[in-house]
Amino acid sequence: MLLREASYNVYNLSTWFAQHSSFKNVRPEPDGTTWKFHADQGRHKQITVIDYLKEGRGVLKLPNGAFKITRLPVLKMGMNQFGATKVTGGPGLINYQAHFNPYDSFDRPPCETDLKVPPKERPVIAHITQELGLTGKPPQEILRRVYAFFQKNFRYALTLNHGNQQKSITDFLVRSRSGHCEYFATSTALLLREAGIPARYATGYSVKEFSRMENRFIVRSRHAHAWVLAYIGDTWENVDTTPSSWINIEEKAASPLEPLYDLWSWCFFKFSQWRWREGEPGGLTKHMWWLLIPLTFVLLRRFYSRSRVRRVEKESEKKDLIEIQPGADSDFYLVEKRLMEWGYTRYPWETLSDWITRIEKTPSSLISTEQLPPILALHYRYRFDPKGITGDDKKALTSKVHSWLQQQKEHNGKNI
């Protein structure tokens, strides 16, 4: 099963955006824990999702076709036209039921935007569309051919052929033919659009791992996934062309300490269940023994931390040295923050220099990057050079960063 958090309809500058994605309030039913998006469906399925909220806020994980949520005690809920649902004013742990019709979808119907292919990607997308003979074929035949194309000719990879550098969709489709799920989803969406099928880019989680100990499925961070929503037969359907081997590949790359993390996660989950439970009989005594497990971990951690502190203190008496991570207060991080706010997404595997080079090569970019390489070089010295930089160099770094930010504000009207 795929649990969606959000979907996007505009692809530009190697990034997906949700155009006109404002959230509208959803009114609760009189019981305060039931939330209806659409009329009840006669035949439907339901699943129970247990998830954490950070400071009472979060985005719900929902299956395609969700029309109602029950047992969710939050103060406010909002949903946009692409199915993203956010809540506020909830407990730290939520346990809700999602009612859904797997054969229907209630997202906004497609428009012209859902068929657009950017000019930069159009040549290679049009070539492959012609090569696969997609034009004029029935939707199900188009889906079958696109799926077979990726399964036979591509492979999933944790790292790209050129290290962790971000590459274009053209490189993925023509040369490397390996990459993350983001590449498969983006390429599939554009191919379907070129073939006349409205498509959107979706993100969320893939539910595949079953825990016998807990008798439920568990979803990890590495299960985060991207796929496509294709408009077939007056409804949005999930289309996932990423090779199924991606789950095994991600699992093999997991830390050998994962069993210990799982134990700690399970203990914290049980403690959270006790902490946020409402109306359960038995009171505190019934669940008191659960406190012993996390308490033992906390005590062991504190003992280990104290031992480390004693050893560090003894070493510091000899060396009279306190180690502080250099460059953590570099002003260049202001540049990174502003670029992200202006829509220039930096991928997790992308270095700062590669990121700036990509922005510089973007034809529609309004950002002047000519002054950034020397500023970045100074930042790298401050961050990684064992000798560090002088006080004058640090002042120069600060001055150049703020000068660049001010220039962008004056030239492009950016809101700083």
pLDDT digit string, tens, across residues 33-60: 999 998 887 888 999 999 999 999 999 9
Residue type, position 198, single letter? P
**Rounded Cα distance, 18 and 3, in Å:** 18
CB atoms within 10 A of CB 329: 11
CB atoms within 10 A of CB 322: 7
Strand partners, 97: 48, 70
**Rounded Cα distance, 149 and 160, in Å:** 20
CB atoms within 10 A of CB 362: 15
pLDDT band at 107 (very low <50, low <70, confident <90, very high): very high
Of 344, 322, 336, nearest in space to 380 by CA: 336
Residue type, position 236, single letter? W
Tokens of 227: 């796929």
Cα–Cα separations (whole angstroms), residue 227 to 54, 240, 367: 26, 5, 31
Q: How many residues does the chain have?
A: 416
- Kindly report the pTM of this predicted structure: 0.68
**Rounded Cα distance, 284 and 277, in Å:** 11
pLDDT of 410 strictly over 50: yes
Domains along the chain with CATH numbers: 2-100 (no CATH), 118-201+220-252 (3.10.620.30), 259-319 (no CATH), 332-412 (no CATH)
H helix and E strand count, the chain: 12, 19
Collapsed DSSP state (helix, strand, coil) of residue 82: coil
**Rounded Cα distance, 50 and 272, in Å:** 11
**Rounded Cα distance, 146 and 242, in Å:** 11
pLDDT digit string, tens, across residues 152-178: 999 999 876 554 456 799 999 999 999
pLDDT of 416 strictly over 70: no
pLDDT band at 412 (very low <50, low <70, confident <90, very high): low
Q: How many CA atoms lie within 13 A of 410 on its CB side?
A: 6
**Rounded Cα distance, 411 and 415, in Å:** 11
Contact yes or no for 233/156 (Cβ under 8 A): no
The whole-number pLDDT of residue 340 equals 76
pLDDT of 308 strictly over 50: no
Contact yes or no for 275/93 (Cβ under 8 A): yes
Q: E-assigned strands of 234-358?
A: 235-239
**Rounded Cα distance, 308 and 319, in Å:** 16
Task: Give the residue with greater pLDDT, 290 vs 248.
Answer: 248
**Rounded Cα distance, 388 and 397, in Å:** 13
- Residues near 343 by Cβ (< 8 Å), separated by ≥ 6? 13, 15, 17
pLDDT digit string, tens, across residues 334-347: 888 888 777 676 65
